[in-house]
Amino acid sequence: MKLAIYQKGAQKPVIISDETETDIEQMKEQCKNVFTSDKIFVIGTEKDCFIGRPSEIQSILISADKEKKTPGV
């Protein structure tokens, strides 16, 4: 799964990768909390962590990885 965090005034989004099998619904709830927080927030995965202010975030895109195909199947 990948998260693209779009910040105000930034040229490119911050990309956070999650290689675990985190459920997209769990990640959606974690990201939803970003916009209801009034201080700082943390979005973390096994590999990456992003700490920011909700007032600086415009949107978050959650992309599920495509299933890996086994060769010959």
Cα distance between residue 28 and residue 46, in whole Å: 16
Residue 46: C-alpha distances to residues 2, 9, 60 (Å) = 12, 28, 18
With beta carbons less than 8 A apart as the criterion, state whether 62 and 34 touch.
no
Question: Looking at residue 28, what DSSP letter applies?
Answer: H
Q: What is the pTM of this model?
A: 0.75
| The pLDDT value given to residue 8 | 92
Q: Once rounded to an integer, what is the mean pLDDT over residues 42-61?
A: 86
| The pLDDT value given to residue 69 | 47
| The pLDDT value given to residue 66 | 64
With beta carbons less than 8 A apart as the criterion, state whether 68 and 21 touch.
no
| The pLDDT value given to residue 13 | 92
